[in-house]
Amino acid sequence: MVEQSLYPNYPQDLEMVITASQVDFFYGATQALFDISLLIPAKHVTALIGPSGCGKSTFLRCLNRMNDTIPHSRVEGEISINQKDIYTPDTDVVELRKEVGMVFQKSNPFPKSIFDNVAYGPRIHGEKDPRRLAEIVEQSLQQAAIWDEVKDRLHANAMGLSGGQQQRLCIARALAVGPKILLMDEPASALDPKSTMRIEDLIGELRTNYTIVIVTHNMQQAARVSDYTAFFYEGRLIECDATPKIFTNPRQKQTEDYITGRFG
């Protein structure tokens, strides 16, 4: 149900998997998001850009309810994934987070072996068969393009990997649960340029099977990896469109100012 008036540059048959309508978010008395309505298409990469504190990460964390862990926080409005409201009282947060994986800004592997890191998700969801676990681990590591580097030391501690490898391991760990959607919160901002490139290549490969929402403050990165881009500013969604359109011919003056580097 793409509303052509709002998204004139989206293909009409684009399937939308996440629907946010009129979302407000509060940290205590401070409102961080104002009336966000945004559609996110399936099996594409959507980038959320904007200056620091614009609410893009907050919005991202609303999508798998990670904000639940923050005391005194509150969400209003509606967010649906596959037409199911994820903020109803009977929402199973465990199921939601299986469906919607997350990769954090700073790589955060557990202080366990590489194997145990990737197997963590399947194990907590009840997978016990060692052969099946080994399969999942190999598959996930291959998908995250790190299998060749670690296949000979699966039982070495993950903390011994380089920063870039750790981040790809975290991506593998997220994939091992079998999500349909991957949320990435500035996944490459703490990495060197070469590792960043590998992560971006990886996002390019994953987009065929996963819906990816990526927060980035790096506009070149958004331009390189995403199909659609949403621009946030001061807690509001200013504009959302096909990425080439946003970067060449935005409709809003604020978007243009931001992407041309006039502020932010």
With contacts defined by CB under 8 A, name the span among 30-38, 96-104, 212-220, 241-249 that binds another protein.
Answer: 96-104
Number of other residues whose CB lies within 10 A of the CB of residue 86: 22
DSSP 138-191: HHHHHHTT-HHHHGGGTTSBGGGS-HHHHHHHHHHHHHTT--SEEEEESTTTTS
> In the bound complex, what is the minimum distance in angstroms from residue 222's beta carbon to another protein?
22
Query: Would you say 252 and 38 are in contact if contact means Cβ atoms under 8 Å apart?
Result: no
Task: Please identify which residue in 44, 56, 168, 173 interacts with another protein, judged by CB under 8 A.
Answer: 173
Per rule CB under 8 A, is residue 72 in the interface with another protein?
no
Number of other residues whose CB lies within 10 A of the CB of residue 65: 17
> In the bound complex, what is the minimum distance in angstroms from residue 204's beta carbon to another protein?
23
Between 36 and 119, CB nearer to another protein: 119
Per rule CB under 8 A, is residue 147 in the interface with another protein?
no
CA distance 90 to 78: 14
Between 39 and 177, CB nearer to another protein: 177
Query: Would you say 183 and 81 are in contact if contact means Cβ atoms under 8 Å apart?
Result: no
Specify the DSSP class assigned to residue 14: P
Per rule CB under 8 A, is residue 90 in the interface with another protein?
no
Per rule CB under 8 A, is residue 110 in the interface with another protein?
yes
Between 191 and 242, CB nearer to another protein: 191
Query: Would you say 108 and 98 are in contact if contact means Cβ atoms under 8 Å apart?
Result: no
CA distance 33 to 41: 21
Per rule CB under 8 A, is residue 180 in the interface with another protein?
no
Between 43 and 97, CB nearer to another protein: 97
Per rule CB under 8 A, is residue 124 in the interface with another protein?
yes
Beta bridge partners of 36: 23
Task: Please identify which residue in 51, 77, 82, 97 interacts with another protein, judged by CB under 8 A.
Answer: 97
Between 51 and 178, CB nearer to another protein: 178
Applying CB under 8 A, the residues found at the interface with another protein are 64, 66, 69, 93-98, 101-102, 104, 106, 108-112, 120-121, 124-125, 170, 173-174, 177
